[in-house]
Structure 1
Amino acid sequence: MTEAALGLLGIMTCRRNGSPSISESSFYSHLCRLAPLFDLNVTIFQPDGVREVGKRVTGLKWRNGEWISTETSPPDIVYNRCFYGSKKERIAAAAALTALPMALPWSRGLPDKWGVHEILKRSSRAAALLTDTRLYTGSRHLSDMLAEREYGVFLKPLAGTHGKRTLHTLKRNGVLGVSVRGRDRDNVPFHHNFNDQKEGLDWIDRFIGPRRYLMQPYLQLTSRSGQPFDVRVLMQKNGRGLWERTGMAVRLGTCGSLTSNLHGGGTAIPVLPFLQEEYGKAGKYIMAQLVEDAALLPPLLEAACGRLGELGLDFGIDGGGRITLLEANSKPGRTVFRLTGDHRAEKLAIENPLRYARHLLLTNRRVPALSGGSSGVPGRMITMVPKEDS
C-alpha cells in the first residue's frame, strides 16, 4: 500500500478453476484500476490466503494489465464476494473473516430467502409485495399446496443461486399425476411427467433431499411472446453512505425456460420500452412503482440485518401489472447494464463499492445513518449465515 492511499480494500472471493483462479476477474480488474481515483488500494484474496492468524494476507493485484501475486498487511475493509459452492467453502470464508477482527466489513449479508421473507412481512407496505411463501416440509404439504393452486407450485432452495435446482410442479389434466420441470445443480433444464401423483411427489422429495426449500404459488411472469422475465434493480450506497438506485433492467429468459437468470441463458434489455410494449400506457406507472418499491426495501432489510452496501432486488410483474418481490441479493451481479447498453449504470455499479469503502474509512469506521430514517420495523437484529447471490 502506498503512503498516499487512504486504506486497503480486500476483496474476498472463493477459488474457481481457470487463470486467474477467481470468479468475476473482469469486475475486480476494473476495481483495481479505478481504486487510486478514490485513494484506495485493492487486493483480491481467497479464504486460505489469510496467514499467521490474520497478520498477513496473500492474494492478487492487478498491475500493467495482468494479475500478479502479492502479500499485504490485513485489509482495512473486506468486501466479501464469495459465492459458496460447498459447505467447506462457507466454513473457510467464515474462518478467514474471524482471523481478520480489525477489518471492517464492507457490508453484512442477508439471511436466506425465508429469513428475508420473515423480515419484510413485518412491514405492511413490504408485505404487499410478497407472495404466499411456505417452507417445504415434505410431500404432504406440497400436495396440499398443489390442490390450492391452478398454475402449480414453484420450489426453490433457501440458499440457491442462478436458478439452479428450482422446480415447477403442476397437476396434470386428465390424469392423477404431476408434471415437473426445473433445472438441475448444473443449471441444465429437465422435464418429467408422472402418471401417479405419489410417484412424482416422491421423486421431488428425493431431488430436494436434505436441502431446505421454499414453496410458492407459480406466478405466470412471462411476456406476450412467452419468455419469462423479471426486473432487476440495483440499489447501492454512494460516497455519502446513502442508498441510491444505480440502475434497472429487464432480465429476459428463453421461451419455455423456468427462470430468467442470465446464468440460465437469459439476456437483459431496457425496462421502460419493454413495459410500454407489454402494458401500454400503464408501463410508465409500473416503472414508477418499481422505483418506489425498490427504495422502500433496503432500509427495512438494513434495520434487521445490520449495515449493507448494495442489494440486487428482483421483481416479477404479472399480466395485470401486479408487482411481486421475487428475491433480494446482497452480492448482486452487474452484467445486466453492459447487456442493456446503460453505460452510466454500468460505470456507477463498478465505482460505487469504491466510493462507499472510502466513505467508511473517512468516517473512522462509524456506522452511517440509514437513508430515510427509521424503518419502523419491529424486532431484534437477526443473526445470519449469508446466502449466495446472483
Structure 2
Amino acid sequence: MYTFGFISLNPKIENNYFTEVAKRSPHYDIECYRFSPTNINPVTHLVTGEKFYPDHQEWRSHEFPIPDILYDRCFYADHALAKNALAIMKWLKNRRDLLFIGHGLPNKWNLYQTLANSNLSPYVVKTIPVKDAIQTLSFLENEKKIILKPVSGSGGMGIACLEKENETISVIVEKQQQILRSSFPSITIAQKWIEKIRTKKEYLAQPFLQLVDQAKRPFDIRILLQKDGNGQWVERGRGIRTGQTNGVLSNLSAGADTEPFHNWLNSIDPKKIDFLKKEIEELTTQLPKIIEQTYPPLFEIGIDIGVAQDLSLWILDVNSKPGRKVVLETVPLAQESLYTAPLEYGRMLALQHEQGRKSYEKTFSNRNQ
C-alpha cells in the first residue's frame, strides 16, 4: 500500500477537495494524509498531521513518516511562516526518495520569458519588469493604460490598473469585490505611490488589453489540464469567468461569475467558431510541452486565456496549483475525474519508481556476481 500526502500551509482550507480525493483512495490501495511542511520534525523526520480513516470518513490527528507520494498545494504569502515552509519544501523536493506529483512553476517574469521565446509568443502579452517609477510612468505615457501585477502571487491579489488621460493619472484596484478608483493630484504623488508598492513586492507592467464582453465586464477562459493515469495531458474542462462591469479582474476571488464555455461560444459569429476552437486547442496542446521542456514535470495546469473584441487570444496566466471551482460549476460531469486524477497519476509515478529501483538493484547485483 502506498501513502499519499497533501501538503498545505493550512490543510483545512481545501478540506472538501482533500476529503473527496481521500474517500476514493482505498480503491487505489492508497492511504491519505495531510499536513503542513512546518510540522515535519527536523530530527526524526516524522510528521504531525492528520490521517484519513475511510471506515469513518474523517480525518484524525496522527504522527507518521513522510508519505511516499506528495501533492504540493502550498500558497506562499509574505510572512515568516510561509518563508520557512518554502525552505522546507525546497528540501523535500531535492530528496530523491520522495515523489512529488507536481513541482510547481517559477514566477510570472520567468514564465513570461519562456513563453515569449517560444512558438506561442504571438499569444503572449508584452511584459516588462517594474524597475522604478520613472520607467513605469514612461511606459504608461506610451501605452496610456497599463496593468501592474506582482511577479509572484495568485487570485488577482495586488493587481492595479493605471490610466493617463491628458495630464491626469488614475488608478483602479479591486479589493473585497469592490472597485476602487482614485486620481493622483500630481506626477510626484504617482511616483511615490509606485515606489511604495515596489518596496513591498516585485511588479510587472503590461499594456491594458480590452478583454471585455459586450457589457464591458472583464472575462477570460479558464481551462484545467491534468495528467491521467498514463501520464498524458488531458483537459478536464473549461469555463468562462466574468468580472464586474468596468472592472479589472475576472478572478473568482474578486467576485467573478462562472458560465459554461459553450454558452459563450454560442454568442460568437458561427463563421469564426471553428477557427477559435482550433486556436484554443493549439494553445492547450503546445503550452504544457513548452513548459516541461524548461521546468520540472507538472501534474496540473490552469490556463487563463483572454479574448479581445477582435477574437484574438492572449495567455494571461498559467497556474500550477489551480482551483477547480470553474470546472466543477460549469462541467459537473468532470467532478469524479478531478477527485481521482491525483491518485491515478501518483500511483503511476510510484509504480514507475518501484520498477526503476528494482531494475537498478538487479543490474547492480549482476555486476557484483
How far 1:34 moved relative to its partner? 1.0
Q: 1:269, CA displacement in angstroms?
A: 0.9
- Asked if structure 2 preserves the Cα contact closer than 8 Å seen for 1:237 and 1:244, the reply is yes
Paired letter, 2:345: Y
Aligned to 1:325: 315
1:296 aligns with 2:290: no
Asked if the contact 2:155/2:253 (under 8 Å) is kept, the reply is: yes
- TM-score (ref. length: structure 2): 0.89
1:121-270 to structure 2, matched below 5 A, reads 121-123=116-118, 125-150=119-144, 152-173=145-166, 176-183=167-174, 189-270=179-260
Does the aligned pair in 2 maintain the 1:230–1:252 contact within 8 Å? yes
Following superposition, the deviation at residue 280 of structure 1 comes to: 4.6
Residue 80 in 1 paired to residue 69 in 2?
no
The more displaced of 132-141 and 63-72 is 63-72
Paired letter, 1:164: M
Counterpart CA distance in 2 for 1:28 and 1:203 is 41
* Cα distance in 1, alignment partners of residues 186 and 45 from structure 2: 60
Please list every run of at least 4 consecutive aligned residues from structure 1 whose deviation after the TM superposition is greater than 6 angstroms. none
Q: Deviation of residue 147 (structure 1)?
A: 1.8
Question: Hey, what's the Cα distance between the residues in 2 that align with 1:284 and 1:254?
Answer: 29
C-alpha distance 252-365 of structure 1, shift in aligned 2 (>3 A): farther
1:236 shift after superposition:
0.9
Aligned to 2:365: none
Residue 54 of structure 1, CA deviation? 5.4
C-alpha distance in 1, partners of 2:21/2:4? 10
Structure-2 change in CA distance of 1:260 and 1:348 (3 Å):
same
Instruction: Using the TM superposition, give the Cα deviation of residue 210 of structure 1 relative to its aligned residue in structure 2, in angstroms.
Output: 3.7
CA distance in 2, matches of 1:40, 1:253: 40
- Residue in 1 that maps onto 2:3: 8
Q: What is the aligned-residue identity percentage?
A: 28
Which has the higher mean CA deviation after the structures are superposed, 331-340 or 342-351?
A: 342-351
Change (3 A) 1:365 1:328: farther
Conserved in 1, the CA contact under 8 Å of 2:160 and 2:172? yes
**How big is the shift at 1:283?**
3.1
Deviations 1:333-384 (A, max 9, x none): 11112221x12323222221111101101112689xxxxxxxxxxxxxxxxx
Rounded Cα–Cα distance in structure 1 between residues aligned with 2:185 and 2:273: 42
1:84 is displaced (CA, Å) by 1.3
1:52 Cα deviation after fit: 4.7
Structure 2 gaps of 5+ residues are 357-369
Report the count of equivalent residues.
Answer: 351
Residue 207 to residue 366, structure 1, CA distance change in 2 (3 Å)? farther
1:44-85 alpha-carbon deviations (Å, 9 max, x no partner)? 011122125353212113332433112222211111101112
**Distance between the aligned counterparts of 2:188 and 2:329, measured in 1?**
43
Matched residue, 1:90:
83
The alpha-carbon distance between structure 1 residues 333 and 120, as it changes in their structure 2 partners (threshold 3 A), is same
**Does residue 357 in structure 1 map to residue 346 in structure 2?**
yes
Q: Which one is further off, 243-252 or 51-60? A: 51-60
Contact 1:276 1:282 (C-alpha < 8 Å) held by counterparts? no
CA separation in 2, counterparts of 1:67 and 1:217?
47
Deviation of residue 14 (structure 1)? 0.3
SS state of the match for residue 298, structure 2? coil
Q: Which moved more, 1:206-215 or 1:41-50?
A: 206-215
User: 1:39-78 counterparts in 2 under 5 A?
Assistant: 39-53=29-43, 55-63=45-53, 64-78=56-70
In 2, the alpha carbon distance for the partners of 1:48 and 1:202 equals 37
Indicate conservation of the 8 Å contact 2:92/2:98, yes or no: no
On the 8 A contact 1:275/1:287 being kept in 2, the answer is no
Of 152-161 and 273-282, deviating more is 273-282
Structure 1 portions without partners, runs of 5+: 16-20, 368-390
Any idea what SS the aligned residue of 2:266 has? helix
User: Which residue identity lines up with residue 180 of structure 1 in the other structure?
Assistant: V
Partner-residue secondary structure (3-state), 2:216: coil
CA distance in 1, matches of 2:272, 2:194: 39
Change in 2 beyond 3 A, CA 1:54/1:114 = farther
Q: Which residue of 1 aligns with 2:364?
A: none
> SS in structure 2 opposite 1:148?
helix
Task: Name the aligned partner's letter for residue 30 of structure 2.
Answer: L
RMSD: 2.0
Q: Residues 137-187 of structure 1, C-alpha deviation per residue, up to 9 Å, x if partnerless?
A: 11111122112214x0101001121111101000024xx120100135x67
With over 3 angstroms needed to count, the CA separation of the structure-2 counterparts of 1:257 and 1:218, relative to structure 1, is: same
> Which stretch of the first structure deviates more once superposed, 316-325 or 195-204?
195-204
SS of match in other structure, 1:249? strand
- The structure carrying a bigger helix percent of its residues is 2
1:28 maps to what in 2? Answer: 18
Does the 8 Å contact 1:224/1:278 carry over to 2? no
In structure 1, C-alpha distance between the alignment counterparts of 2:177 and 2:84, rounded to whole Å: 24
Residue 274 of structure 1 aligns to a residue in which SS?
A: helix
Change (3 A) 1:322 1:115: same
Q: Provide the TM-score with structure 1 as the length reference.
A: 0.85
Q: Aligned partners of 2:227 and 2:299: how far apart in 1?
A: 5
Question: How far apart, in 2, do the equivalents of 1:337 and 1:99 lie?
Answer: 31
